[in-house]
A and B are shown apart, each in its own frame.
Chain A
Amino acid sequence: MSARSPAAAQAYDYAEFMARAYAIELEATERYAQFAEQMEAHNNPEVAALFRKLSGFEALHAKRILGEMGWVDMPALPPPLAWEGGGEGPETAPFEALHYLMQPYHALELALRCELQALEYFEGIAKRDVPAQVKAAALDMAAEERLHAALIRDWMQRVPPPAEGWDEDPDPPRMNE
């Protein structure tokens, strides 16, 4: 749809870039928090706790950006809800990725994908013809995401891989209305 603009050769200024970076982290924070709520509502406490943790990490990152910029409150977010390439923020996990019986491994897999997407986004900006300050900041962000990705990979080593039949539920779906 036309609302999705293809990757524009926009030259962001530094403040605009940081506002976008903040938006990315904020959206990821809120999305993981919503995922945690969904898992809680569906009696999957382990994965809920995991998503809460992930949300916390994103929140920290977002807070750090605010601190760095000296922003007291949220900056104006880029309109019109569009991200380069379309869709949602590069670090935002899609709703359709969830399953009520999902395992911690799945959650981490999802988070890893998001980190790598964010990494790709920031690296992409750094490669473009952008002001030096923006390039430096983009590379910084990319490094941060690379670190997160490594942490998640590491975490994934410590959780069991999903067992065969993890999504089997002998009970059929229930009717509610």
Chain B
Amino acid sequence: MNAPLTAAALAAKDFKSDYKPVWCPGCGDYSVLSAITKALATLGLRPENVAVISGIGCSSRIPAYTTCYGFHGVHGRALPAATGLKAARPDLTVLVASGDGDGYSIGGNHFLHACRRNVDLTYIVMDNHVYGMTKGQPSPTTEPDWSSKLAPGGTGLREFHPLVIALASGANYIARGFSGDPNGCAALIAEAVRHPGFSFVEILSPCVTFRPEQREWKQAVRPSPVAPTDDPARAARRLMTDDGFNLGVLYKGSRPPFAGEPAAPTHAVQDLEKGFEL
């Protein structure tokens, strides 16, 4: 029963690099990093066959903290970069890491189309309801009454509901985790990677520096009272009454993933000249 692990299987620590994260101690992103490494180890993947793509923000620092291939791109454009990579290299496992600002504000448009396109990616958004890297501005998921320098008294804007948007746009797997439960997140991430098509895992990840009150999230979260559904209509009804603290897999669809894989060549490049020849 206790067979030693074979040389081929790696442990979570093999997916964590030597780089010391710059995140504030207490940041939820440490748990997410731990969860990702555990998930990748559980899946039996090798780091060189995994790519982690990110944009800009605290969460987006994550690629270099893993031993996978990393791509730290520009603000809001992680999803298209990941889409290009996966379409050109379907053999790789591609994870995309983002935050609520990077992913839902500047990256909002790409989010819609990534869900719609249903490329086989796993999108992990570390949501702390604030722009952390730039010192505390409201993000699309910030509460309307949260006061900040840019919006004293609060924005007064209704928060963005990413899970609803993901469902409406065609994501194939929708889940929510909480950084206070790294193992739970690891399980969600592992399942998300296994699930074909575009898998979206939003992880509530408190910002200890700019939103210290998010310590209370520990009390607010709860496991979802219902099992995951594959019926978009049922999922939609649930999500419209979701208060943002239900954890678990909310939707697991069966749409076939984006068939963008290159087909085997049938012509040599030179054959194309026939179309021009007189």
Contact = CB atoms under 8 A, between A and B. Distances in A.
Q: Do chains A and B touch in the complex (CB under 8 A)?
A: yes
Interface of A: 1-4, 13, 15-16, 19, 30, 34-35, 37-42, 69, 71-76, 79-83, 86-88, 94-100, 102, 172-173, 175-177
A168 B216 CA distance: 21
A102 B24 CA distance: 12
5 contacts: A38-B21, A75-B2, A81-B38, A88-B183, A177-B134
Contacts of B186: 81
A88 B187 CA distance: 12
Contacts of B3: 76
Interface residues of B, number: 48
Contact of B2 (A71, A81, A173, A177): A71
Interface string B183-226: 11011100000000000000000101110000100100001100
B227 interface: yes
Interface of B: 1-5, 11, 13, 20-22, 24-28, 30-31, 34, 38, 42, 56-57, 133-136, 177, 179-184, 186-188, 206, 208-210, 215, 218, 223-224, 227, 247-249
Contact of B183 (A81, A96, A175): A81
A168 to B, nearest CB: 14
A1 B26 contact: no
Contacts of B181: 1, 4, 86-88
Contacts of B248: 1-2
Contacts, number: 122
A2 B180 contact: no
B58 to A, nearest CB: 9
A98 B25 contact: yes
Contacts of A81: 38, 42, 183, 186-187
Which residue, B177, B187, B188, has most C-beta atoms of chain A within 10 A? B187
A87 B180 CA distance: 8
B4 A75 contact: yes
Contacts of B20: 37-38, 40-41
B206 to A, nearest CB: 7
Which residue, B25, B206, B210, has most C-beta atoms of chain A within 10 A? B25
Nearest to B223: A1
Contacts of A35: 25
Given A95-B26, A176-B22, A3 B2 contact: no
B250 to A, nearest CB: 11
B245 to A, nearest CB: 12
Contacts of A2: 223, 227, 248-249
Contacts of B177: 1
A139 B62 CA distance: 41
Given A96-B215, A99-B208, A175-B134, A80 B42 contact: yes
A175 B5 contact: no
Nearest to B133: A177
Contacts of A76: 1-5
Contacts of B215: 96
B208 A96 contact: yes
B25 A99 contact: yes
A98 B34 CA distance: 15
Contact of A95 (B28, B134, B218): B28
B199 to A, nearest CB: 15
B23 to A, nearest CB: 8
B10 to A, nearest CB: 12
A40 B19 CA distance: 12
A25 to B, nearest CB: 15
A3 B186 CA distance: 10
Contacts of B2: 15-16, 19, 69, 71, 75-76
Contacts of B38: 81
B4 A96 contact: no
A110 B249 CA distance: 32
